[in-house]
Amino acid sequence: MNKKYLGIVLIIIGAALMAWGYSVYDSAGSQISRAISGDTPIEAWIGMVGGAICLLIGIVKLK
């Protein structure tokens, strides 16, 4: 039963991290930085990739 709760929590955290990472990626400052240097902020990568990993682990825990 505890695995299901952990899975649900990880899914929620993963979705929130992915949304935050995309928000950072899509911000005006980030768009200007990408236009000038071509670099994506590390915070955006951490949020999107970390969120996806949490989401996948959460889905596995629910099974």
Q: pLDDT at residue 1 above 80?
A: no
Number of domains in the chain: 1
On the 0-12 / 13-18 / 19+ scale of CB atoms within 10 A, 57 is: middle
Specify whether the CB–CB gap between 1 and 59 falls below 8 A: no
Specify whether the CB–CB gap between 9 and 57 falls below 8 A: no
State the greatest distance between any 2 C-alpha atoms of the chain, in Å, as a whole number. 50
Task: Name the pTM for this structure.
Answer: 0.83
pLDDT, tens digit (0-9, with 9 covering 90-100), for 17-43? 999 999 999 898 888 888 898 888 899
The residue type found at 27 is S
Task: Identify the domain containing residue 54 by its residue range.
Answer: 2-62
pLDDT bracket for residue 52 (50, 70, 90): very high
Q: Which tokens belong to 8?
A: 């649900």
